[in-house]
Amino acid sequence: MNARAETIETIAATAEAGAAGGPLIRLRGIRKTYGQGQAAFQALKGIDLDIERGDFVAIMGPSGSGKSTAMNTLGCLDVPSAGDYLFRGIAVQKLSRDQRARLRRKSLGFVFQGFNLLARTSAQENVELPLLYRGESAAARHEQARAALAAVGLAGWESHTPAELSGGQQQRVAIARAIVTRPEVLLADEPTGNLDSQRSREIMQLLWQLNDVHGITVLMVTHEPDMAAWARRVVRFVDGRIASDRRNPRPAGLDAQTAPAAPEFDDTPALEASAAGAA
């Protein structure tokens, strides 16, 4: 293990030990300015937000209100211009680029509207990709990718390329790819944006299960009230600020018939640990 990797392991361990009572995510005074001088634009104007382990948060608000900018910050894909971001007590802004990338690979999973799957590559290989970046053995990659595909209801579809799958199935592959590393947090920016209402519902049901059964914390941007109804909490952005933050007294998933989770995927220690942490 190199020195940097060691540093982040130490930071993570310290944070884990010390932050047992703290929120999983804490944003304080987060600002993001794009451009400089005359052309400068403040996309985030001071965001304070705490997110607990096991929560399912929908982020809503008008186009241009800063939702994706906030998601990029939360996902450690971009750094804020000012403010503090604590992930499990770790001050993200104090990490080096490499350390942030490591935190991202270890703890976060991403799903985007456009799927971002490799076109001439099978579902199985698309899902294996994050494990390849992690340097896992071929055998481990095969097994974990198969389990993740099974968990999203795509057992038997492993060899299909994206062109041979429906939009809903492609989005499931993207979700399998996001969860194959067993992240603590799943970040989804308009995960149903390209799907019809039936497919959207299925994707929401899947996100609900990942949250409710596997204990994965879900942060999801959506424009659609029907989709936000699945979340446990709805945060609304207006003009770079949080305009409202409400708990949903009855998330839609509680009323939906949820299929039992795939047993192979249920056995993973990381998921058991995060589910236990959420309970």
Ligand X SMILES: Nc1ncnc2c1ncn2[C@@H]1O[C@H](COP(=O)(O)OP(=O)(O)OP(=O)(O)O)[C@@H](O)[C@H]1O
Q: List residues binding ligand X (CB under 6 A).
A: 34-35, 41, 43, 61, 63-69
Q: Which two tokens stand for residue 129?
A: 């990709």
18 binds, among Mg ion, ligand X, none (CB under 5 to 8 A by kind): none
* Partner that binds at residue 35, options ligand X, Mg ion, none, CB closer than 5 to 8 Å by kind: ligand X
Number of Cα atoms under 13 Å in the Cβ half of residue 77: 11
Is residue 68 part of the contact set for Mg ion (CB under 5 A)?
yes
Q: Where are the alpha helices (DSSP H) in the chain?
A: 3-18, 67-74, 97-107, 123-133, 138-151, 167-179, 197-212, 225-228, 263-266, 269-278
Which amino acid is present at 39? A
CA distance 183 to 166: 25
Which element (helix H / strand E) includes 192? none
Residue 58 binding: pick among Mg ion, ligand X, none (C-beta 5-8 Å cut-off by kind): none
Rule CB under 5 A: is residue 217 a binding residue for Mg ion?
no
Closer of 67 and 232 to ligand X (Cβ): 67
CB of 168 to ligand X, least distance (A): 21
Q: Is 73 in the site for Mg ion (CB under 5 A)?
A: no
| Minimum distance, C-beta of residue 57 to Mg ion, in the bound complex (Å) | 15
Could you say which of ligand X, Mg ion, none residue 2 binds, taking C-beta under 5 to 8 angstroms by partner kind? Answer: none
Nearest approach, Cβ of residue 15 and ligand X (Å) = 28
Q: Which is nearer to ligand X, 35 or 263 (CB)?
A: 35
Among ligand X, Mg ion, none, the one that 133 touches (CB under a kind-dependent 5 to 8 A) is none
Binding range to Mg ion, per CB under 5 A, among 66-74, 111-119, 145-153, 267-275: 66-74
Angle, helix 167-179 to helix 123-133, in steps of 10 degrees: 20
Please classify residue 156 by burial: count the beta carbons closer than 10 Å to its beta carbon, then call 0-12 exposed, 13-18 middle and 19+ buried.
exposed
Point out which residues pair with 150 in neighbouring strands.
none
Stretch that binds Mg ion, among 4-12, 65-73, 86-94, 209-217 (CB under 5 A): 65-73
Q: Specify the residue, 51 or 152, whose C-beta has the smaller distance to ligand X.
A: 51
Residue 17: exposure state from Cβ atoms within 10 A (0-12, 13-18, ≥19): exposed
Q: Report the interface residues with Mg ion, using CB under 5 A.
A: 68
